[in-house]
Amino acid sequence: MKQIGEYCGLCGVIGAEKSITALVAEGLFAQQHRGQEASGIATLDKNKEIQLHKKNGLVSDLMLDIPSEMMSSEVIGGIGHVRYGTFGGSSVLNAQPILVRMADIPVAIAHNGTISNAGVIRRSLQRKGHIFQTNTDTEIVLHLMSRELEDTDYNIEKCLQLAISKLEGAFCLLLLVPQGMYVIRDSKGFRPLSLGKIRGGGWIVASETIAFPVTDAEYVREIYPGEMLFFPVDGENTTCEPISSIPGREQELFPERNTRYAQCIFEHVYFARPGSYVFGDSVYEVRIKMGRQLAREYPADCDMVMPVPDSGMFAAMGFARELGLPLDMGFTRNHYVGRTFIDPGHATRAAMVMRKLQPIPEAIKGKRVCVVEDSIVRGTTSKARIKALREAGALEVHMRISCPPHMYACYFGIDFPEENTLIANKYSVEEIREILNLDSLGYLSVEGMLGCVSAHKPENYCAACFTGDYPVPPPVSGSIR
């Protein structure tokens, strides 16, 4: 792969004894795979003021010139964000958190997901005179809140509840306000969000639990779909005070929604790091299971199994174990190239693909190899790699994909290319096999994929990009903008 991107990773820390900004940065750094275009941190200090520092680039770039006041012991809370930008250009204005003053109350917000009715809300607010400063869907939350200020007697929490009741789609939100930190996960639970307790005091919330070991935090639980938590600060003490934290009580916060979740199965297939727990399941274990299931559905008559590193690694391990075949590294990866999808231009991307992964002739020459990959998007990347394997001496090249064919767009936080550029949207599996010049090709079935998760029932996952069965209606225009 890739050519697929995701909107973002989140990390919020409150009430910790240690340097809060450093902890947020560590948490973001562990989640850098969720976005590399821009990074940002907002901090709350004991004077109830919020500072913001954000820029294009990686978390390591961000921390190079972090203002000294944001590193001080006066800081009592912080939220951070890593962004994979897909629209609105790469202006730092679109980086997050976004900080505004709402009737002179500072409010910072960071978001992971895609608000699928953002375009409709934005146009409606613009007609009422609202002026937007960014092209993000996130900014509409702040505008919706500001409209409620007077009617709620400037009650920020009430404003927030009213604002999110108008949102559709995927949104994990962190908000920093003078009173503390709010944490929200949409009622479908599209994107992951977990709660951890920092040893020695304090709380952390992150998109992936991989942020917890590096911040000396213990996993507590997922933030439930439809849940909103508030962590108040009074300068000295910070407690966790759930506003709606009991499963089944989501209806209180989102009264018009049903409670069937739609957690993104593609987090397990590709996006999340294998050391994370996502939606209550170990990503590592789910990927191994996907590989095993793939082997049961589409075994391969070959001499060796080889992954496309890094994301195909664990499914390849499961595949090889199930069939009792040797697993070997037929590709060597250049770790200094970066993720291929960062490249904006198609031609550049093709060049980057070959720069990133090169076949190792000594490992594959004269062998029938089975390549395990996590998905085929347009097919151009796979085609180039298969050609390179044949040129390096592979006798036969088989391919197994640890998810079903990608046929449809995602409106819930993953940036797929246009539907009509997805190879599986246009061609059958047999046609794809021919186009890619493979000896055989097999994809994991939808049922097989969903059977690999265990913390939630299969019906509580979204698989719409494979099935076209969207858990909430896609935007009418097909556009979220």
Task: Give the residues lining the site for ligand SF4 (CB under 6 A).
Answer: 190, 264-266, 410, 412, 414, 462-465
Helix (H, G, I), strand (E, B) or coil at 108: strand
Per DSSP, what are the bridge partners of residue 107? Answer: 100
Cα-flanking dihedrals φ and ψ of residue 61, to 5°?
-65, -45
Look up residue 385 and give its amino acid. Answer: R
Query: Shortest distance, CB of residue 90 to ligand SF4, whole angstroms?
Result: 22
What phi-psi label fits residue 93: left (phi over 0), alpha (psi between -120 and 50 degrees) or beta? alpha
Query: Shortest distance, CB of residue 221 to ligand SF4, whole angstroms?
Result: 22
Query: Shortest distance, CB of residue 225 to ligand SF4, whole angstroms?
Result: 13
Query: Shortest distance, CB of residue 411 to ligand SF4, whole angstroms?
Result: 7
* Cβ count near 291 (within 10 Å): 29
Q: Which of 373, 366, 358 lies closest to 303 in space, CA to CA?
A: 366
Query: Shortest distance, CB of residue 467 to ligand SF4, whole angstroms?
Result: 9
Q: How far apart are CA 469 and CA 155, in angstroms?
A: 39
Residue number with CB closer to ligand SF4 (192 or 196) = 192
Catalytic residue among 8, 159, 240, 302: 8
Residue number with CB closer to ligand SF4 (269 or 357) = 269
Question: Distances in Å between the alpha carbon of 20 and those of 17, 61, 197?
Answer: 8, 18, 13
Residue number with CB closer to ligand SF4 (33 or 54) = 33
Query: Shortest distance, CB of residue 265 to ligand SF4, whole angstroms?
Result: 5
Q: How far apart are CA 459 and CA 13, in angstroms?
A: 32
Q: Which residue has the tokens 């789609």?
A: 169
Sequential DSSP letters for 211-278: GTGGGTEEEEEEPPTT-EEEEEB-SS-B--EEEE-STT-HHHHSTTS-----EEHHIIIIIS-TTSEE
As a three-state string, the secondary structure of 128-188 is CCCCCCCCCCCHHHHHHHHHHCCCCCCCHHHHHHHHHCCCCECCEEEEEECCEEEEEECCC
Whether residue 8 lies in the annotated active site: yes
Residue number with CB closer to ligand SF4 (316 or 414) = 414
Q: Are 1 and 377 in contact (CB under 8 A)?
A: yes
Residue number with CB closer to ligand SF4 (40 or 413) = 413
Q: Which residues are catalytic?
A: 8
